[in-house]
Amino acid sequence: MSHLTALRMFRAFIHGATAGQFKGKKLLKPSHLTRPFSSLTTHLVGMKTVRIPALILCAASLAFSGLVSPASANHTAASGNEYLLPALPEYITGPFPIEVSVSGPAPVCEVRYGNQKRSTAPWLFTLTPAAVNNNDSFDVKLCDGEFERGPWVDTEAPFNTGERFVDGNGAAVRNNLATPATVVLLKPDGAESFRSEIPPFGGIEIPLPEVKKTTTFSIVISNSSGQIMTAPVVKAVGWNVYDARLTKYDPCTTVTWAYDPSGKAIEPVYPYTRPGEDVKKKKQPAAAKTFKKDIQGSFDLLEKNTSLTFVETDDYTNADIRIGWANLGKGSSLGNHGTLIKGGTGSTDGQVLINTKGKWGTDRYEGFKKYGPKNYVGWVYIEPPGTTAGRGWLITHEIMHTLGFLHADSDNSIMAPIDYGTSKFSQEDLDGLAAVFGKKCLQ
């Protein structure tokens, strides 16, 4: 057992004991793993009836003294499969390649770690400081469709660099060690913009310079022990993402997608509260004959402007992005301004639904050109007249939601909540796609 495993057991016991619910479940969040020991002893002061097993106390003590050496992580799952990781260092400060060894009776069809997924052996992954601070185990999908927990990742980063994508003026960093650290912010040209000390087990916010376009800075943190960690921080202009710490997919990832014209494979969808939105899954409208062509066109555009590869699959249930139709309602009245009608939805779980009650159920607005007369709000159209982009841009907008993008502030963005008929990516759209997924995959 490595000292990090012992420490997690100890903290899980304390956390569960104070909550009265420790039953062998995983009760920790990544943030718990970076608390100083003093915060844990504070919890112990008022717990007069709690008895901590001597073995756990001993292991925790060794963990803090550094006497337990790193070891491989071995995990036997309910299926009878054994998952093994090689010995890991106590801390990692940069990319660390690793292979998950799998043996046992149950065939494995997929292994995931954070935003990395592998569908065939060898199960090769890259641990990074950001990943280990947010994910402490692998997830395994068996070929019979069942999921189970893989091996634990018994290492962590000495420092937390917080959010990778920032749309504000500051970036938070944290020192996870008992020795002071120094943080430096570098501009794209390498010039120093900011320098400060971070106290033991403490954190600070780094001020980011004002910029007019999306800019990538570098954060460098080091200490007197020789540990040094470098991480990029992107100041986003005109775009934003749901999770600012990790991307939905790593650059150069192959993303699968599937379309269900029958409406039978679509999973139940979350409810809406607007009048008329009963959210019933539907089959493809008969008049939407070129809809599949618009889907392919959307993925072609995204593949052209990122390092991602999009591949269609017949396995709708397990596809990364799943597209279908649903009754999202006829909309609500806006008085003299017309009727508000939702065009579609997209969520980070990969589901895209287009409204059968909207005008997209016909090929009148097919493709990627600008049409009139219609005006849209939130990929919702308002009648009477205005202009709108073709149906392909609606699909692109919803797919970008599944990739992790939020609505943008720019009126010219494909991700804007108000569509003025924009029929091309804005520069902000392209900057966001490049910053999150890269422009090209280097072979």
pLDDT at 312 (0 to 100) = 98
Cα first-last separation, the chain? 38
For domain 70-157, give the CATH superfamily: Immunoglobulins (2.60.40.10)
Quickly list DSSP for 372-403. SS-EEESSEEEESS--EE-HHHHHHHHHHHHT
pLDDT at 206 (0 to 100) = 96
Pick the CATH number of 254-437 from 3.40.50.300, 3.40.390.10, 3.40.50.10490, 3.40.190.10: 3.40.390.10
- Crossing angle of helices 37-45 and 3-19, in 10° steps, is 30
Buried/exposed 213-251: b ≥16 CB within 10 Å, e otherwise: ebbebebbbbbeeebebebebbbbbbbbbeebbbbbbbb
**Rounded distance, CA 278 to CA 268, Å?**
12
User: Where in the sequence of the chain do the CATH 2.60.40.10 domains occur?
Assistant: 70-157
Q: What is the chain's pLDDT, residue by residue, as a tens digit (443 residues)?
A: 444 444 444 333 333 333 333 233 333 333 333 323 222 222 222 222 233 333 332 333 223 323 233 445 678 998 999 999 998 999 999 999 999 999 999 999 999 998 888 989 999 999 999 888 887 789 999 999 899 999 989 899 999 998 999 988 899 999 999 999 999 999 999 999 999 999 999 999 999 999 999 999 999 999 999 999 999 999 999 999 998 887 889 899 999 999 999 988 776 555 443 444 445 678 999 999 999 999 999 999 999 999 999 999 999 988 999 999 988 776 544 344 344 557 788 888 899 989 887 778 889 889 998 887 655 555 555 544 567 788 999 999 999 999 999 999 888 899 987 666 788 999 999 999 999 999 988 65
pLDDT at 373 (0 to 100) = 63
pLDDT at 228 (0 to 100) = 96
**C-beta of residue 55 within 8 angstroms of C-beta of residue 1:** no
- Crossing angle of helices 3-19 and 54-65, in 10° steps, is 130
pLDDT at 379 (0 to 100) = 55
**Rounded distance, CA 247 to CA 263, Å?**
30
- Distances, alpha carbon 6 to alpha carbons 59, 60, 127, 180, in Å: 5, 6, 21, 25
pLDDT at 374 (0 to 100) = 54
User: Where in the sequence of the chain do the CATH 3.40.390.10 domains occur?
Assistant: 254-437
**Rounded distance, CA 255 to CA 60, Å?**
42
User: What is the token pair recorded at 43?
Assistant: 């919890």
Q: Are strands 82-84 and 96-103 parallel, antiparallel or unpaired?
A: antiparallel
**Rounded distance, CA 416 to CA 240, Å?**
11
The closest alpha carbon to 348, from 269, 238, 243, 240, belongs to 243
Its CATH class, for the domain covering 161-235, is mainly beta
pLDDT at 397 (0 to 100) = 93
- Kindly give the residue spans of alpha helices, DSSP state H, lying in 309-438: 391-402, 427-437
**Rounded distance, CA 275 to CA 61, Å?**
60
Longest alpha-carbon distance in the chain: 75
- Kindly give the residue spans of alpha helices, DSSP state H, lying in 136-202: none
Phi, psi of 185 (to 5 degrees): -105, 125
Instruction: Specify the pTM.
Output: 0.76
Quickly list DSSP for 214-256. -EEEEEEEEETTS-EEEEEEEE-SS--BS-SSS-SS-TT-EEE
The closest alpha carbon to 233, from 217, 255, 245, belongs to 217
**Environment class of residue 204 by beta-carbon count within 10 Å: exposed (0-12), middle (13-18) or buried (19+)?**
middle
User: What is the token pair recorded at 399?
Assistant: 């797919």
pLDDT at 133 (0 to 100) = 82
What amino acid is encoded at 162 in this protein? G
Quote the Cα angle for 328-417-340, to 5°.
40
